[in-house]
Amino acid sequence: MNVMNDSPRRKELTRQAAQLFVQEGFDRTTVRMLAQEMGIKSGSLFHHFRDKQEILAAVIEEGTQNALMIARDALDNCDSNPEARLHAMARAHLETLLTDRNAHVVALYEWRRLDPEARDHLGHLRDAYETLWEEVLDEALAADLIRGDRFLVSRFVMGALNWTVRWYDPRGERSPEDLARELIAMITHPAR
Amino acid sequence: MNVMNDSPRRKELTRQAAQLFVQEGFDRTTVRMLAQEMGIKSGSLFHHFRDKQEILAAVIEEGTQNALMIARDALDNCDSNPEARLHAMARAHLETLLTDRNAHVVALYEWRRLDPEARDHLGHLRDAYETLWEEVLDEALAADLIRGDRFLVSRFVMGALNWTVRWYDPRGERSPEDLARELIAMITHPAR
DNA sequence: GGGTCAACCAAGCAAGCGCTAGTGTAAACG
DNA sequence: CGTTTACACTAGCGCTTGCTTGGTTGACCC
């Protein structure tokens, strides 16, 4: 058995794995395909990862951790009124699609292929991210910027946002800024 | 080679396949597992379906066709004002989760495992369904019930709705009726 | 009562799968 | 210098995969 740290080499391999997982899906991606993409032989792969599952976990962890970081950053650097905070979160979410799209698609589609331990660990990361959203939405609800059931509003918004990975091309003409503004215009009530 | 009609036997087998595809995912579901669930041997399976892919296509076709039928029905039997039509569509969408949840989950997660021909065929079905939504949303936009970019509003709403398969339990305390009302309250502007 | 036909079974093939074992090598370390 | 460490290779084991083949069964038909 070998190392399982987070060396730069491993980071790069993880990035390439994400690409393949998106193209082929986790189950259809063989260790031989992964190795070829990485420019090594299939056996060498197990020097960097304990098994195939661990590659999947690494991909998802990378993406979620980045999203969490960027979201926290956005909240720290914006005005403190509920609308600005809502906007900052939506924009941050969409911006991660620029840099980490592959990882997010994998997290979305291949979550169930994780073994229970990995799912548990990554579930906590995911929860931390969703909690950020719920706090911001709570503030918006308290300020009467949005109306409705807390649980349902949160689910609907997360749905609209998560669904973007299926159609949004960040290199198109619409910027994350545009989308964030439009989404918030749709769900907020203009009258105070 | 054998039949590929839509016998009642085949319908039942398709329903059972959907169940397994949801539990295990398409790739992890082996023909032997499918056969066992159906109470036959793995070889006999290929009497009903040309190959494994065709089972997947059958599952998705069944679900989409039902959703389309129910949505059309709902539109035919509701008031003609934009709000009522919006409500009818949302409610119909959520109600299909009661009867065809498995098929919808499969359509959502395993779409990319379809071969190009099946994807093309089912894509047209899916388009027909989404077109219904766009018509209803267009009417709502024209009546100033919703404001915003036509393309984006449609994507956000489809996102919020499609995402429901990930968290909504139709046997819970919230009815499709409740959810539909709440969603529409969130995206429509109360002031006329 | 011979013929037809959908439905099923037993057996197995060829290919591909994840992963392991054992070895080589070049740079880094003391 | 000898030792360690990181990374890679070759070769292949044991198993599972989707699917095929050839044959059996029982219900229905004229």
pLDDT digits (tens, 9 = 90+) for B144-178: 999 999 999 999 999 999 999 999 987 889 999 99
| Distance between CA atoms of residues B98 and B96, nearest Å | 5
Convert the pLDDT of each residue in B93-143 to its tens digit: 999 988 899 999 999 999 999 999 999 999 999 999 999 999 999 999 999
pLDDT of residue B6: 67
pLDDT of residue B192: 41
Of all residues in chain B, the one with the smallest CA distance to A167 is B155
Kindly determine whether the C-beta of residue A56 is less than 7 Å away from any atom of nucleic acid strand C: no
**With contact defined as beta carbons under 8 Å apart, do A82 and A139 qualify?**
yes
CB contact under 8 A, B179 and A152: yes
* A186: nearest CB among B28, B153, B164: B153
Q: Name the most confidently modeled range: A40-49, A71-80, A92-101.
A: A71-80
In which domain, by residue range, is B151 found? 8-187
Residue A36 has pLDDT above 70, yes or no: yes
Predicted pLDDT at B25: 96
Q: Which of residues 46-75 of B touch strand C (CB under 7 A)?
A: 47-48
- pLDDT score for A98: 83
By residue count, chain A amounts to 192
What tokens appear for B127 in the block? 């388009």
Q: Does B172 touch chain A (CB under 8 A)?
A: no
A43 touches B at CB < 8 Å: no
Portion 53-82 of B in contact with A at CB < 8 A:
none
| Residue A159 domain flag | yes
CA distance A30 to A26: 8
> Is the shortest CB-to-strand distance from A52 to strand C under 7 Å?
yes
> pLDDT category, B10, cuts 50, 70, 90?
confident
**B172 part of a folded domain:** yes
Residue B7: CB less than 7 A from any atom in strand C: yes
Residue B1 lies in a domain: no
User: Looking at the predicted structure, is the pLDDT value of residue A192 above 50?
Assistant: no
Of the listed ranges A3-7, A42-46, A58-62, B160-164, the least confidently predicted one is A3-7
pLDDT at A18 over 80: yes
CB B75, CB B85: distance < 8 Å = yes
Across the range A163-177, mean pLDDT stands at: 91
Using the Cβ of B152 and the Cβ atoms of chain A, whether some distance falls under 8 Å is answered with yes
Candidate from A163-177, B64-78, B146-160 with smallest mean pLDDT: A163-177
Residue A4 inside a domain? The answer is no
- Using a CB–CB cutoff of 8 Å, tell me whether A102 touches chain B: no
Would you call A114 an interface residue with chain B, using a CB distance cutoff of 8 Å? Answer: no
Residue-wise pLDDT for B28-56, tens only, equals: 999 999 999 999 998 899 999 999 999 99
Judged against a pLDDT cut of 60, whether residue A109 lies above it is answered with: yes
For A41-51, what is each residue's pLDDT tens digit?
988 899 999 99
Indicate whether B2 belongs to any domain.
no
Which residues in chain B, range 109-138, keep a C-beta under 7 Å from any nucleic strand C atom? none
Tokens of A170: 């960040």
| CA atom of A97 to C1′ atom of D28, Å | 62
Q: Say if the Cβ atoms of B25 and A27 lie within 8 Å.
A: yes
A98 occurs within a structural domain: yes
A190 — pLDDT class (breaks 50, 70, 90): low
CA distances from A103 to B4, B15, B25 (A): 39, 32, 19
CA distance B103 to B165: 11
Split into its structural domains, chain B has a count of: 1
Predicted confidence at residue B140, as pLDDT, reads 96
Q: Confirm whether B168 is domain-assigned.
A: yes
Decide if A125 is inside a domain.
yes
- Which nucleotide lies closest to B55 by the C1' atom and the CA atom? D18
Query: Do B182 and A148 contact (CB within 8 A), yes or no?
Result: yes
Contacts of A119 (CB under 8 A, 6+ apart): A111
Indicate yes or no: strand C within 7 A of the C-beta of A40.
no
Other CB atoms within 10 Å distance of the CB of residue A57 = 21
Residue A6: pLDDT band (50, 70, 90) is low
Would an 8 Å CB–CB cutoff place A153 in contact with chain B? Answer: yes
Among all residues of chain A, which has the CA nearest to that of B110?
A: A109
Q: What is the CATH number of the domain that holds B71?
A: 1.10.357.10
Of B27, B148, B161, nearest to A25 by CB-CB distance is B27
Nucleotides on chain D that have an atom closer than 7 A to a protein CB are 6-12, 16-22
Distance CA B159, CA A157 (A): 9
